[in-house]
């Protein structure tokens, strides 16, 4: 199944530029693939392995290994910032959270690492965006749910606190109102009020 997932990623994002694998105790191996979009000056990082298992609610009495949401994570940044390639392990940590912590990743979820996404990054958390825009959902044979590819939007600590208080929609509106470039690896927090 992971081969199908990788094919879906390469069909949408191009050839893999680099890859790294991380294994966590009690979790399957997670790879992070790097895609360079030289035409647009972007670099994309996508997890591979998170979708191998369906995400299940930790409070469920019985976990169905076949049924349940499946996902991979995609982070897009402007190329040229050398430290961003060190986001590979933090992304793998986020991708392993469903197996390790019983987390079910959904749009508008806040995933907080508690440390910078890469050395010197102004971001410690990401907001999970709606899937389907960049990489289409991957339909799997029944009874499995499709794999959804969730874009990640980096948040500064101030933005993370504000969206927890006001909600993700309010943060998206603030980003939009200020023309925030969410792909800028060194951007500051959007001006927040209210």
Q: How far is CA 144 from CA 26, 28, 33, 140, in A?
A: 23, 18, 24, 6
- For 104, residues 6+ apart whose C-beta sits below 8 A from its C-beta are 55, 56, 57, 69, 98
CA-CA distance, 44 to 6, in Å (whole number)? Answer: 14
C-beta neighbour count of 167 within 10 angstroms: 12
pLDDT in tens, 143-193: 889 999 999 999 999 999 999 999 999 999 999 999 999 999 999 988 887
Domain presence at residue 27: yes
Which residue, chain included where needed, has tokens 């469903």?
98
Q: State the pLDDT at residue 60.
A: 62
Domain range for residue 69?
2-157
Domain presence at residue 60: yes
Domain presence at residue 162: no
Q: State the pLDDT at residue 66.
A: 75
Domain presence at residue 25: yes
The number of folded domains in the chain is: 1
Q: Which structure tokens are listed for 35?
A: 């895609």
pLDDT in tens, 5-63: 999 999 999 999 999 988 877 678 899 999 999 999 999 999 999 998 888 866 666 66
Domain presence at residue 24: yes
pLDDT in tens, 68-109: 899 999 999 999 888 999 999 999 999 998 888 888 999 999
């Amino acid at each position: 199944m992971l081969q199908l997932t990788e094919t879906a990623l390469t069909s949408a994002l191009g050839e893999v530029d680099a890859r790294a694998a991380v294994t966590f105790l009690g979790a399957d191996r997670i790879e992070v693939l790097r895609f360079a979009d030289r035409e647009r000056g972007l670099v994309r990082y996508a997890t591979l392995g998170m979708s191998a298992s369906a995400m299940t609610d930790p409070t469920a009495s019985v976990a169905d290994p076949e049924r349940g949401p499946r996902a991979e994570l995609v982070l897009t940044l402007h190329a040229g910032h050398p430290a961003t390639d060190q986001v590979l392990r933090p992304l793998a940590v986020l991708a392993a959270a469903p197996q390790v912590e019983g987390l079910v990743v959904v749009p508008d979820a806040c995933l907080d690492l508690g440390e910078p996404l890469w050395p010197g990054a102004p971001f410690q958390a990401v907001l999970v965006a709606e899937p389907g825009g960049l990489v289409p959902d991957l339909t799997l044979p029944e009874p499995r749910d499709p794999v959804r590819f969730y874009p990640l939007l980096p948040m500064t600590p101030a933005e993370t606190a504000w969206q927890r208080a006001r909600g993700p929609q309010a943060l998206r509106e603030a980003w939009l109102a200020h023309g925030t470039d969410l792909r800028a690896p060194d951007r500051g927090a959007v001006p927040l009020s209210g």
